[in-house]
Structure 1
Amino acid sequence: MSTINAAPTTLDPDAGTSHLGGVIRATTDAVNKDRANAQVRFAATATAHDAVASTVRAGKHSVEVDEPPALGGGSTAPNPVEYYLAALLSCQVVTYRFWADKLGLEIEDISATAEGDLDVQGFFGLDESVRPGFGEVRVTVTLAGPESAERYAELQAVVDEHCPVLDLTRNPTPVRTVL
């Protein structure tokens, strides 16, 4: 299993079309050569500090995480569920760009917004019938380009089937915690 790191794939600049097209071809070739090349491991570590804040390291990057004062934090950084929304939106943008390139669709501009409703009774254990996570998340994606609305709707359907973070939300993912 490969571990994703900060080293980008070097592509032949004369390989044709776009950068993403080169990534698509290189990955397809590598997986066709050996299916084990399709397995990738991502990892992150977190270290707590202050009341409820943490520093998370993922690859060569680090991000700060905190909570708003109402949840015991100092609001010095986004909270975990805001990072989830950010992860979902950024994954949507990547997946739209990837599949547009793969399907030969042109996108001149893409933006996305998300909001989620969370009832803190679940987190605080005040009502065990209330889940601790979002009850609903709403995503709005805005695409600009020369394609028809029907073609962009087809793209949305493909993106909804292939976006990894959306998949994590829609399908149970086994999580094993070790203390």
Structure 2
Amino acid sequence: MTTASVSHLASIISATSDAVSEDAAKALVVFRASAQSHDAVASTVSLGKYAVEVDEPPALGGANAAPNPVEYYLASLLSCHVVTYRFWAEKLGIRVDDISARAEGDLDVRGFFGFDDSVRPGFGEVRVVVDITGPESRERYLELHEAAEAHCPVLDLTRNATPVSTVLGVSAGNN
């Protein structure tokens, strides 16, 4: 990790701490996304100024033209781990030269297709491996691991139930 990136994270941590200490409401952030379907099961998801394509493999009705939703979940989980490890390395004063991560999840499609309602439609298990290189002791990296696992937002979304409410809007067609 370069000195510039360390000081950059340190300044973000400090500025955020100061702002939140002055006004707890400044800790609340709203993230937004919207999706528009196209083709059989594909969609374009708008995320602020970004757009990502989502599709399914042919076995699930798609053209395999983009990652599918559960692959994006894995990408979100891994990238959130990397960010969280970097921030907590800075907070704990632990030097990290490099971080890489990989994940795989087991999904039984019987739940999605409704073939067996006792099978959940999402991942039954996800396995994550984070590899860190740097000059610190294994104990220091275990300390970092514990902090990152306790503070990773996407991991928290998986480990803890998050209330989700869905409203169906229906535009009646001309029949």
Out of 108, 113, 121, which is 2:97 matched to? 108
What TM-score does the superposition give when structure 2 sets the normalisation length?
A: 0.92
Out of 24, 27, 31, which is 2:16 matched to? 27
Q: Name the Cα RMSD after superposition.
A: 0.6
Task: Work out whether 1:123 is the aligned partner of 2:120.
Answer: no
Out of 131, 143, 151, which is 1:154 matched to? 143
Task: Work out whether 1:132 is the aligned partner of 2:121.
Answer: yes
Any runs of at least 4 consecutive aligned residues in structure 1 with deviations exceeding 4 A, and if so which?
none
Unaligned runs of 5+ residues in structure 2 are 1-5, 169-175
Following the alignment from structure 1 to structure 2, what is the Cα–Cα distance between the partners of residues 171 and 27? 25
Letter in 2 for 1:20: L
Q: Between the two proteins, what is the percent identity of the paired residues?
A: 71
Following the alignment from structure 2 to structure 1, what is the Cα–Cα distance between the partners of residues 57 and 147? 36
Number of aligned positions between the proteins = 163
Following the alignment from structure 1 to structure 2, what is the Cα–Cα distance between the partners of residues 18 and 113? 27
Following the alignment from structure 1 to structure 2, what is the Cα–Cα distance between the partners of residues 61 and 18? 27
Q: How does 1:1-179 map to 2 (within 5 A)?
A: 18-179=7-168
CA-CA distance at 1:39 after TM superposition:
0.5
Following the alignment from structure 2 to structure 1, what is the Cα–Cα distance between the partners of residues 100 and 28? 30
Following the alignment from structure 1 to structure 2, what is the Cα–Cα distance between the partners of residues 62 and 107? 31
Q: Secondary structure at the match of 1:93?
A: helix
Letter in 2 for 1:45: S
Show CA shifts across 1:129-178 (max 9, x none): 00000000000000000010111011111111000000000000000000
What TM-score does the superposition give when structure 1 sets the normalisation length?
A: 0.90
